[in-house]
Amino acid sequence: MKKIFYTGLVACSFVLSPCSVCDSDNKQAQEYDGIVAVVNDDIITASDLEERLRLTLFSSGGEVASELKSRILREVLKEMIAEKLKWQCASKYSPKGGWISEEAVKASFDDIAKRNGMTHDEFCNLLKNKKINKDVLLKQIQINLSWIAYVNARFGKFINISQSEMNRTMAEIKEKRDQESYYVRRMFFPVSDPKNESEVLARVNNLYHMLERGADFGNLARQFSQSPEASKGGEMGWVFQGQLSSEENSALGKMQIGKRAIVRTSRGYAILFLQDKKEAGLSSFTTLKIAQVVIPFRGPNPPKEEVDQLRDFALELKKSSRSCHEFMAKAKESGFCGVSDSASVNLESMAPEFRTALSSLQAGGIGNPIVTPNGLIVICVLDRKTQKIPELTREEVMAQKTNERLSVFADRETRDLGKRAVIAVNEKYGTGFDFSN
């Protein structure tokens, strides 16, 4: 049997022997809807993989090209194998009553809904309409929270952050809080063994390609990132120069708002997304809840007459509408306009033409048509909030430092779990998905 190794989330040895897996117990093979992999005797079935893929595609922005879908499938299978190892470990050492409560899982589920601008019931209905099994997401949340609790319980006693270190850090924050700072989302992938760096980089490039093709950063971070902030969609919040690694600080200083970058640090690879930048002296930012009405062109490079005609149509529709909702309803009734779901965005992180168009619009306002290569876009502002940029508390800084140091122990633990693991993958799913270096 051929052994191959990889380090994505964990370093595992894969034994590609589908016949020995399936033929050793035909009854078991028939009982499941096809066996994709066996992880220390735990089975991943084809239906398991399909349900998880459906959830990931939904999280990544819906329908994608077949080439991108194959990339996502590769990541999903790796993630499911890694989660099996995490769950096996956390379950083995679970205290009475489990690591986390049902209420904690539900609260995390509701937080995901809130971050997508929905209530619990609205999010459940959306998942149902998309034919996504809610229990798949709940189980993923349970595994991730249990793993965090296990790592905290096992390694927390080795984390010692002195009062003098905290005093120095808080003084630095106070000194730099009025300087330029950055609102950052991050995914992180450790390089536990230099021999496996090429595969970790391949995985990072794979996810970066998915982002370039329209995948949502926050949802991919929840699915695949190995950083402490993964459960929050990679959201680190406001950071200043010196708060991250020197390599990340250098990259942020060169990035433009709305851009992403792959950065090699001393511990591994980070994918950074600069969501916003606060110039020195600024102390607030604006959050908008918006929906977009898209009026498509009939084809590429439309004549000026067509653009003018569609702009007049949009302006007339806007003039005759008393509210955003009436405008969107009339756009839908027209039969050729598209209306997006609502979403929350930071005004300061939007492209310049959108920021200019929306800067003076209040809640309930309807923007003027914006010309894009594919059609006109009219943005409706459903809600608008201006918030003061919060200052980090001592407790928040302590939590950040603790999580960063715990992540080092978590990396080592997942690597050791992988070294002890035996994983058999059906060749049907191994072919075309290179888990080796």
pLDDT single digits (tens) 28-51? 433 445 888 889 989 998 889 989
Number of domains in the chain: 3
Residue 140 lies in a domain: yes
Domain that holds residue 313: 285-388
pLDDT band at 324 (very low <50, low <70, confident <90, very high): very high
| Segment of 109-123, 334-348, 360-374 carrying the highest mean pLDDT | 360-374
> Is position 182 within any domain?
yes
Do 120 and 109 meet the contact criterion of CB atoms below 8 Å apart? Answer: yes
pLDDT computed for residue 4 by the predictor: 28
Maximum mean pLDDT: which of 23-37, 155-169, 189-203, 210-224: 155-169
Rounded CA-CA distance 191/197 in Å is 6
Q: Does one domain contain both 303 and 243?
A: no
Last residue of a domain, one of 283, 303, 331: 283
Amino acid at 398: M
**Res. 216: pLDDT tops 90:** no
Query: 147 and 7, same structural domain?
Result: yes
220 vs 436, higher pLDDT: 220
Q: Has residue 9 got a pLDDT over 60?
A: no
Let me know whether 12 and 139 are in one domain.
yes
The enclosing domain of 100 has a CATH number of 1.10.4030.10
Reading the block at residue 63, the tokens are 């329908």
Tell whether 311 and 272 lie within a shared domain: no
Identify whether 405 is part of a domain. Answer: no
> If pLDDT is split at 50, 70 and 90, which confidence band does 53 have?
confident
Summarised one tens digit per residue, pLDDT across range 376-422 is 999 999 999 887 766 778 888 898 889 888 888 888 898 889 888 88
Give me the CATH number covering residue 320. Answer: 3.10.50.40
**Domain shared by 187 and 308, yes or no:** no
User: Tell me, what's the pLDDT at 260?
Assistant: 92
- Domain contains 400: no
Range 347-354 average pLDDT: 70
**Domain limit, last residue, from 283, 314, 347:** 283
Joined together, the tokens standing for residue 111 give: 């937080």
In the prediction, which pLDDT does 270 show? 92
**What local confidence, expressed as pLDDT, does residue 112 receive?**
83
**In the predicted model, is pLDDT for residue 434 greater than 70?**
no
CA–CA distance, 250 with 269 (Å, rounded to integer): 14
Stated pTM of the model: 0.63
What are 269-314's pLDDT values in tens digits?
999 998 877 765 456 678 888 889 999 998 888 999 999 999 999 9
Could you tell me what percent of the chain has a pLDDT over 70? Answer: 83
Q: What is the mean pLDDT of the chain?
A: 80
Judge if 110 and 54 occupy the same domain. Answer: yes
Give the residue from 241, 261, 283 where a domain finishes. Answer: 283
Task: State both tokens at 96.
Answer: 């009475």
Q: Let me know if residue 47 belongs to a domain.
A: yes
In this model, does residue 12 exceed pLDDT 50?
Answer: no
The answer to the question of residue 198 being in a domain is yes
Q: Evaluate if residue 433 carries a pLDDT over 60.
A: no
pLDDT value for 64: 56
Q: Taking 80 as the threshold, does the pLDDT of residue 116 lie above it?
A: no
The rounded percent of the chain whose pLDDT value lies above 90 is: 27
pLDDT of residue 177: 67
For residue 243, pLDDT over 90 is answered with: no
Residue 135 is predicted with a pLDDT of 92
Distances (CA, A) of 435 to 4, 84, 172, 206, 414: 7, 17, 44, 13, 17
The pLDDT value given to residue 359: 81
Say if residues 9 and 78 touch (Cβ distance below 8 Å).
Answer: yes
Identify whether residues 194 and 107 lie together within a single domain: no
- The model's confidence at residue 328, banded by pLDDT at 50, 70 and 90, is very high
* Domain-located, residue 379: yes
